Chain A
């Protein structure tokens, strides 16, 4: 296996991008991520992105966004209709093959032009669930009820997770929802919006984008003082049909974490992309996180959920902690689909 590291990250997130297109959003971010390590597109061996046409409301929208990369002369490029974390995985595989030494990975999501709660229904099966157009919050509420009634989690614990996000996000300029003063009592006093879920249990929707540069071996050491070496990365999937699943669990997250070696050593920090407090709780259990690990110091996805980018943003946040010397071993997580159907775990270490 080649040593591959995240050497540069750039991200932006706000409640709603009302004056910029996806291209205008990504031009500065891509230039910032490449420029910080002195690279131009000519130096990039492979480019991979993640986004969704269902958010943009137009087919092949990712092709427009290639304008932000600079694809003349022609580049080696790929796209996944997934969170950018899966684009990072594809780039990591490409680097492992050994054909290239550097890769640019980016993803973005602008859900504000449409109704995300409805758009998410299109990820359901088209015969049984999709035609019912169930609201995304209502679907999450069903899971929350099962978790509470079965004793898998308590309302107190969900409120603690919400408070952890709100407090952590107060230090994060990219968070769109934060409160340094929030307490468990405040959260428990909120009226539920998808009973039993309260507003603070549901991620604050956001628009944004993230760009990451990967490099292999000595190239990474040249470009970055303290590369975030990817020691393990794995993604797994649970069944699509929620009726066949135990909704209090996410076995795919457990398996991905084990395959990535998450529990092999102490984790200083974990950044989780859970769009609901219930799901953040499931991840903590499945990933076997211990109290010594700082979970979602950034506020996590609850403090700002950019569809299609939230996972790559978590990996970027985790990598940044290695770059800055704040942590030595970190975990970045990404999820996709209903009820954490798909999970990706990326474990990174500094030297």
Chain B
């Protein structure tokens, strides 16, 4: 082996020589080895509770046993502390936009989604983290952090055990949540209040 790393090994520096009987045969330049594996995904206890509740037009979160923070969707654990979260909390279908993005590129397979569309972190009233949703019923240029929204549900006869029951989130017309208390700031604002109280 050469001590100089910029000099390729001898085996790679010369011409490739083949046995005579392989002379003229086209070299293999690549092979295709397709892989396909199928899985039956199991949502688990917490997510099952969450998805089942959607069929009844309910949104469930879970409460941290450590400091009472409410997580939605629930994962069965407060990930900050590794503590199990067995207690469900029913949340209203109202909240505010904690952050948003206007997208002008189509998503493959989502022909139903008109562009531009607005995806947003929806912070439900009573929840301490946001979850993802679409914002509709408003001009994209008017969407703002802190804007109050409510869920627009599919008709009752189309409800399933899925978060897709919520078509999008529309403005309620209520006064905005101040940006200093919107989104992830909400948790910090609440903690500061608690410290003062």
Contacts and interface: CB of A to CB of B under 8 A. Distances in A.
B49 to A, nearest CB: 11
Contacts of B81: 41, 70, 72
B77 A113 contact: no
B84 A27 contact: yes
A66 interface: yes
The 9 closest A-B pairs by CB, nearest first: A70-B82, A21-B44, A57-B39, A67-B79, A72-B80, A70-B81, A131-B33, A24-B76, A113-B39
B19 to A, nearest CB: 20
Interface string B1-42: 000000000000000000000000000000101010111111
A72 B44 CA distance: 24
For the complex, would chain B's binding face be called helix, strand, loop or mixed by DSSP majority?
loop
A191 to B, nearest CB: 28
A303 to B, nearest CB: 24
Contacts of B47: 21
Contacts of B33: 126-127, 130-131
B45 A24 contact: yes
Given A30-B82, A67-B77, A70-B80, 13 more contacts: A18-B42, A19-B42, A20-B45, A21-B75, A24-B84, A27-B77, A27-B84, A41-B82, A57-B41, A72-B79, A72-B81, A115-B37, A119-B37
A69 B42 contact: no
B83 interface: yes
B124 to A, nearest CB: 20
A23 interface: yes
Interface string B65-107: 0000000000111111111100000000000000000000000
A350 B72 CA distance: 47
A114 interface: yes
A23 B42 contact: no
Given A127-B33, A131-B33, A19 B84 contact: no
Contact of A70 (B31, B38, B44, B79): B79
